[in-house]
Amino acid sequence: MQINDLNLMKYFIGALSLILFIALTIVGYVEVKASKYEVRPYISANNKKCIDCHIKKGIGEGQVNDWKQSRHAEKGIGCIECHKADAKDPDAYKHEGFTIATIVSPKDCGKCHEDAAKEFQESHHAQAAKFIGSMDNVLGSIVEGPAAATSGCRQCHGSEVKVLANGKLDPDTWPNTGMGRVNPDGSKGSCSACHARHSFSIAQARQPENCGRCHMGPDHPQIEIYNESKHGILYNANKDKMNLSNPKDKWIAGKDYLYPTCASCHMSATESQPVTHDVGKRISWTLRPIISIKLENWEARRKSMKDVCQSCHGPEQVENFYKQYDDAVNLYNKKFGEPTKNAMEKLKAAGKITPTPFDDKIEWTFYELWHHEGRRARMGASMMGPDFTQWHGFYEVAKHFYTKFIPELTELDPKLAQEIMAKEEHKWKKGLSKEDIAKTLEYYKERYKQ
């Protein structure tokens, strides 16, 4: 090959490489820009008026920027579309030439999201404000004080939002995004409890941390139990693989993602069932009350939940899990829940404790026994959190049953206490046989010999 030909080839290769580099750089730049500005907000003239005014006055610019990243913004659904109101609405008021309401209720959201709103209104979440007439509310509003209930209980359960003059909202009842909030338009609940304003993100609603805002603490520690479970460990190690922003019909357990969240089990689609906003639709036991009961149509509910489980697990594992779960709930019910509940009812009927809640020592012991410790034991078993089932659950139940409740009951009604302790499951208190003791000691000697 001649020198000139070689130089020409080198020049050609160099020029081609430069062109290719420039082309790739341009393509890369376009891809980055497209990714960064994936959501392009459409701002109508009416909404621009709202946005410009709020930004100019320094009120809620963060809300505006949050909205700009939403699917709503991309579709031109903005301030007016969500907040517009009829002049007859109890919380409607005139504002800068528009008739609006502060609260965007499920009834408002249902104008576009009809199925989701209907399912939610039929769910247990929507009934959460019913606690206002419960023992919990007596404890919060009376024993502790109204402010404790307003800033505590009602921020999760919801309150009845009351309207003052000119559409303004009573500060004792608003702000509130409680799940069972009773809205001025008569609807129940708050969509923004899970899909927080103003992005209303589906990805956020699917993350367990979202549910953990309310489902946590000593009496309903679902988020702590979840984080202890293998499900939670796997999710936390693989968040980046979860495809959390996928559309609802493209977020299928075992197919589009592998590690379940709260939403996966209680709400999201499988290959054979659709998304639901009725979070209790797949729950077979109720674990909240003193004694757990199977819910109406519990077989169908359980079948739906098993369908979710079998997206990742084999039938034998699913069936055996439910056997263990049922056994734990039945153990609590029979050994602790039923005898303590019956004893409390008999004490009250006999006038040995007063009708006023929480003014007798045994009432505090009983309340924590079922409302805190008993729930933790049952919920731990339901979500495969062994430490909550045992040390935060059954251990605490047993300790306080034998060392607090029974001694306090004995002081009030010795015969009733003796009747409970005479039952087969409590006979160990009379002393184990020499053979039982020897067997136990031998087991632990073998267990811990290394």
* Pairing of β 93-95 and β 293-294: unpaired
Residues 280 and 123: beta-carbon distance below 8 Å: yes
Tokens of 67: 């909205």
Task: List 94's β-bridge partners, or say none.
Answer: 99
> Please, how many CA atoms are within 13 Å of residue 192, restricted to the half-sphere of its CB?
15
439 pLDDT more than 90 = no
What pLDDT score was predicted for residue 438?
85
* Pairing of β 293-294 and β 285-286: antiparallel
Q: How far is CA 85 from CA 69, 81, 118, 163, in A?
A: 25, 9, 20, 14
Helices (H), 242-385: 262-266, 298-309, 315-332, 338-349, 361-367, 375-382
What pLDDT score was predicted for residue 374?
98
What pLDDT score was predicted for residue 21?
47
How does residue 4 score in pLDDT terms, banded at 50, 70 and 90?
A: low
Residues 332 and 379: beta-carbon distance below 8 Å: no
Closest CA to 337 of 391, 293, 392: 293
Q: Which helix (H) or strand (E) holds 420?
A: helix 414-421
Tokens of 146: 């109204």
What pLDDT score was predicted for residue 225?
98
User: 136-146 pLDDT, tens per residue?
Assistant: 878 988 999 99
User: 157-194 pLDDT, tens per residue?
Assistant: 999 999 998 889 999 999 999 999 999 999 999 999 99
What pLDDT score was predicted for residue 447?
67
Closest CA to 125 of 42, 2, 214, 254: 214
Task: List 99's β-bridge partners, or say none.
Answer: 94
* Cβ neighbourhood burial of 26 (10 Å; 0-12, 13-18, 19+): exposed
Helices (H), 241-314: 262-266, 298-309
Tokens of 425: 């499951």
Tokens of 145: 């004080």
Pseudo-torsion of CA 19, 20, 26, 28, nearest 10°?
Answer: -160
40 pLDDT more than 90 = no
Question: What is the rounded CA–CA span in Å between residue 148 and residue 139?
Answer: 10
27 pLDDT more than 50 = no
Give how far the C-alpha of residue 438 lies from the chain's centroid of Cα atoms, to the nearest Å.
46
User: 10-22 pLDDT, tens per residue?
Assistant: 555 555 555 544 4
Phi, psi dihedral angles at 188 (to 5 degrees): -115, 140
How does residue 200 score in pLDDT terms, banded at 50, 70 and 90?
A: very high
Question: What is the rounded CA–CA span in Å between residue 22 and residue 16?
Answer: 10
User: 52-100 pLDDT, tens per residue?
Assistant: 999 999 998 999 999 999 999 999 999 999 999 999 999 999 999 999 9
